[in-house]
């Protein structure tokens, strides 16, 4: 009987050990295909989309983020410049099937930005495998146009934000 109890105790200990080591599968968010950090540049463009000034504010490349809302639905996401460009953050409409996004009169939710301003995002797109890092490695890219209610541009109409998924490396290569 002692042998059976020892065997049973050993078996249960091993079984519990294997079960407790089982890795839980963590699911992604509803916007996982379009979410991420991006290394972008802001250009001034005319209404027809033609370039007026590359890197209009002379910031070079800077990081922005796209991420899911607290509701975690596939039809909305946040676009956030992390206070690096115009200090804007807002929810946009997302068409996940086409990897596109846009929004009109988006209320600025940035804690450092002017909450009274609104902005429009048009022609937003995440393009899988279309971008390139400086070293030639293939990357996802993002592009969208943004216009702010408190901006009075001279010689251009709005901004085109474009870049690649942030690699985590200092030079993004």
Report the number of distinct structural domains present in the chain.
1
CATH of the domain at 49: 2.40.128.220
Q: Please indicate, yes or no, if residue 4 is contained in any of the structural domains.
A: no
**Over the stretch 43-97, which tens digit does the pLDDT of each residue have?**
999 999 999 999 999 999 999 999 999 999 999 999 999 999 999 999 999 999 9
Residue 11 lies in a domain: no
* pTM higher than the cut 0.85: no
Torsion angle of C-alpha atoms 96, 101, 103, 108, degrees rounded to 10: 100
The answer to whether the beta carbons of residues 101 and 93 sit under 8 Å apart is: yes
Ranges assigned E (strand) in 35-137: 36-45, 51-53, 62-68, 76-80, 89-95, 100-107, 118-132
Q: Is residue 79 part of a domain?
A: yes
17 assigned to some structural domain: no
d(CA 57, CA 53) in angstroms, rounded, equals 9
Which residues span the domain enclosing 60? 29-165
Average pLDDT over residues 23-39: 82
Tokens of residue 113, six digits: 């930005």
Residue 118 domain-assigned (yes or no): yes
Residue 14 lies in a domain: no
The pLDDT tens digits for 102-129 are 999 999 999 887 878 999 999 999 999 9
Who's near 4: CB < 8 A, 6+ residues apart?
A: none
Percent of the chain with pLDDT over 70: 82
For residue 140, the surrounding DSSP H or E stretch is: strand 138-148
> Does 171 map to a domain?
no
Q: pLDDT tens digits, residue range 126-140?
A: 999 999 998 899 999
Confidence of residue 169 (pLDDT cuts 50, 70, 90): confident
């Amino acid at each position: 009987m002692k042998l059976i109890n020892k065997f049973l105790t050993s078996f249960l200990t091993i079984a519990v050990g294997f079960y407790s080591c089982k890795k839980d599968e963590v699911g992604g968010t509803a916007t996982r295909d379009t979410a991420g950090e991006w290394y972008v540049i802001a250009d001034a463009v005319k209404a027809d989309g033609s370039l007026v000034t590359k890197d209009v504010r002379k910031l070079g490349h800077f990081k922005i983020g796209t991420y899911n809302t607290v509701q975690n639905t596939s039809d909305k996401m946040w676009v956030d410049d992390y206070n690096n460009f115009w200090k804007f953050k807002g929810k946009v409409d997302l068409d996940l099937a086409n990897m596109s996004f846009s929004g009109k009169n988006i209320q600025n939710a940035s804690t450092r930005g002017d909450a009274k301003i609104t902005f429009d995002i048009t022609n937003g797109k995440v393009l899988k495998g279309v971008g390139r890092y400086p070293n030639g490695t293939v990357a996802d890219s993002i592009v969208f146009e943004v216009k702010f209610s408190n901006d009075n541009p001279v010689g251009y109409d709005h901004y085109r934000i474009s870049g690649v998924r942030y690699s985590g490396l200092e030079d993004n290569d």
